[in-house]
Amino acid sequence: PGSSTDAAVGLRFTPIAQQTDDAVTVPAGYLHDVVLRWGDPLFSDAPAFDPANQTEAAQLRQFGYNNDHVGLLPLNNQDEQVMVVNHEYTSEPMMFPDYDPENPTEEQVRIAWAAHGLTVVAVTGKHRGPRSGAFDAIVDHPLNRRLHVRTEFELSGPAAGSDYLRTTADPEGRTVLGTLNNCAGGLTPWGTWLTAEENFNQYFANAGAVTDPVARQRLSRYGLGSGASERKWERFDDRFDLAKEPNEANRFGWIVEVDPFDPTSTPKKRTALGRFKHEAATIRLAADGRAVAYMGDDERFDYLYKFVSRDRYRQGDAAHNATLLDNGTLYVARLTGDSPATEIDGTGTLPADGEFDGAGEWIPLVTGNVSHVPGMTAEEVLIFTRQAGDAVGATKMDRPEDVEPSPRTGTVYVALTNNTRRTAAQAHEANPRGNNKHGHVLELEETGADAAAATFAWRILLLCGDPEDPSTYFAGFDKSQVSPISCPDNLAFDDHGNLWISTDGQPGTLGTNDALYGVAVAGKRRGEVRQFLAVPHGGETCGPVVTDKRVLVAVQHPGEIDGASYENPLSHWPDGGTSIPRPSIVVAYRADGKTIGQA
Ligand code: FEO
Ligand code: CA
Ligand code: CA
Ligand code: CA
């Protein structure tokens, strides 16, 4: 990559090289600190972290495992904020001494329930000498909160109360215990947090006991399997056994809205936004003030969605804004290329018009209680949304992860992380590579720059990989000047309009650590990818949040490498010595206290 001063404003740092160390790496002139680790106390009554003797009671008062989404909401100023964090899943063999995957103990299962879910925690700048960007948790802050697998959540919107959502414990179909596999998320203009339930299927056992063919098909479309679940939770709570509670799995796979400023509030599972393996939801206001949520379903050959609210956002009216995501229309995307199909050969070679690009339409699936899908009721469209997408011929994508509109331009960016199952024959202009192991990033322009538009134009911004690989594309930018990047997952924007991309999978594709990159999306440097940070080997880079003075990332599953266990840790980050690895939030900042990416 070129010299720091040539880069786009906000990306003027010296890019780091690809890394393989058991460490976080940042550019020259930057520092980093750990903000919170798995097991750190959120309340002063939490015992000191002791992984050899962890308990459910301790975990309920401590920061959870495998942090993923990170959001910052304003509290008092730049140095005192509310941080919200997802805890996607647990890695039991790395968490517990002598863990027997065939026979977990009840206490281990209860610890895992407490280590899943969500954290709300106030953080404050430390100002300890030159470490001007460091952040510390404010233990016992009144907004601090843990939500987990035993916390009460409310189903809201048009499918709430549906027969498909009723169980023995909840005959009304409106109250669910817990949130599961919360991956990424987003913040709303009205000050709430959206968190996405992704691979919920892994927690449920015995889908094979369901014999009705329609019900079976619905379970299998969501990947719910026969036999025992990986974690065996069904042994300690019947609701995880589909033979006993066939509807419980329908109560997961939603976008959840949390009010971080009211620690007594019951979070809402917003059924109007559909049920699938939600990666995230991000909000943009339409030209007329309606709220638009962009969403991806992270599965090979699954779909890209948006929701448009019926009502308009009203600044300052929290009670009204809390209803926006209960009423509206859910759409799924169909993308059409503008080059002849014969020019898309699956190798990533550009078609004759010089771009992978075309037109798209948002196909309406359901508006409130009115279905637009023949043969499906509105509640079926909302609860079995994947089948609705199948029925209308939505475009099968290469694993849609974050879908993020630029706050500055409204242009929407879609991370398509990878899809090695796509064959060259299945390649089309929007997913143009067979065996797409490095993934790509798509750019959508809504018609009239209106987020509520029914149509859009699209083009591919990046075909990821090592720039020496001829199948890569960096928006036409000089490939000799870009950093290798693979498996784009989470997206964020800085105040200058640059796109930041974190990755999930580089150890397997490039042989190097997952990382965070800044990318110029406008001007002469458009397509220039610059690596800012790398996480320890075996970890995934999540988050990210880029502010004026700080870059936050979630280091998820550090040291999760084949053969790793509590007894055989393959990472000792962040505590060093012979310690087991701990998923943690990291903040990076300039040693001289200046703005991120300023020359
Ligand atoms: Fe949990 Fe789609 O990554
Ligand atoms: Ca084209
Ligand atoms: Ca993700
Ligand atoms: Ca991922």
Query: Residue 222 falls within a domain, yes or no?
Result: no
Neighbours of ion ligand 4 (CB under 5 A): 489, 504
pLDDT of 129 higher than 70: no
Give the percent of the chain with pLDDT over 90: 96
Q: What is the pLDDT of residues 490-519, one digit of tens each?
A: 999 999 999 999 999 999 999 999 999 999
Query: Residue 381 falls within a domain, yes or no?
Result: yes
In the prediction, which pLDDT does 599 show? 82
Among 489, 494, 478, 486, residue whose Cα is nearest residue 526: 478
Q: Report how far ligand 4's centroid is from the alpha carbon of 53 (Å).
A: 31
Q: What is the mean pLDDT of residues 81-93?
A: 98
Q: Report how far ligand 4's centroid is from the alpha carbon of 93 (Å).
A: 21
What does 70-131 look like in DSSP terms, one character per residue?
Answer: EEEEEEEETTEEEEEEEE----HHHHSTT--TTS--HHHHHHHHHHSEEEEEEEEE--BTTB
Query: Residue 204 falls within a domain, yes or no?
Result: no
DSSP 548: S
What would the two tokens of residue 479 be? Answer: 């490939």
In the prediction, which pLDDT does 387 show? 98
In the prediction, which pLDDT does 6 show? 87
Specify the pTM.
0.98
Nearest atom, ligand 1, residue 504 CA? 3
Q: Report how far ligand 4's centroid is from the alpha carbon of 535 (Å).
A: 15
In the prediction, which pLDDT does 127 show? 62
CA dihedral 352, 355, 356, 361 (to 10 degrees): -110
Ligand closest to Cα of 429 equals 2
Nearest atom, ligand 1, residue 199 CA? 1
In the prediction, which pLDDT does 77 show? 77
**H or E stretch at 405:** strand 400-405
Nearest atom, ligand 1, residue 184 CA? 1
Q: Report how far ligand 1's centroid is from the alpha carbon of 181 (Å).
A: 9
Percent helix, strand and coil across the chain, each rounded to 5?
15, 35, 50
Ligand closest to Cα of 542 equals 3
Structural domain of 282: 4-172+182-198+253-561+570-590
pLDDT of 130 higher than 90: no
- Whether residue 507 contacts residue 515, with contact meaning beta carbons closer than 8 Å, is answered with no
Nearest atom, ligand 1, residue 68 CA? 1
Q: Report the pocket of ligand 1 as residue ranges, CB < 6 Å.
A: 88, 183, 198, 279, 298, 401, 489
Query: Residue 586 falls within a domain, yes or no?
Result: yes
d(CA 152, CA 176): 6
- Whether residue 496 contacts residue 502, with contact meaning beta carbons closer than 8 Å, is answered with no
Residues 6+ apart with CB under 8 A from 277: 198, 199, 200, 201, 222, 223, 253, 297, 298, 299, 302
Chain centre distance of CA 90: 16
pLDDT of 366 higher than 80: yes
Query: Residue 234 falls within a domain, yes or no?
Result: no
Classify each residue of 289-327 as buried b or exposed e, where b means 16 or more C-beta atoms within 10 Å of its C-beta.
Answer: ebbbbbbbbbbeebbbbbbbbeeebeeeeeeebbebbbe
Query: Residue 597 falls within a domain, yes or no?
Result: no
d(CA 339, CA 590): 45
Q: What is the mean pLDDT of residues 436-444?
A: 98
Query: Residue 27 falls within a domain, yes or no?
Result: yes
pLDDT of 452 higher than 60: yes
Query: Residue 531 falls within a domain, yes or no?
Result: yes
Residues 6+ apart with CB under 8 A from 129: none
Nearest atom, ligand 1, residue 277 CA? 2
Between 3-12, 226-235, 291-300, 585-594, the lowest mean confidence (pLDDT) is in: 3-12
- Whether residue 369 contacts residue 378, with contact meaning beta carbons closer than 8 Å, is answered with yes
pLDDT of 3 higher than 70: no
Q: Report how far ligand 1's centroid is from the alpha carbon of 172 (Å).
A: 31
What does 211-223 look like in DSSP terms, one character per residue?
Answer: --HHHHHHHHHTT
Q: Radius of gyration over alpha carbons of the chain, in Å?
A: 23
Number of domains into which the chain is organized: 1
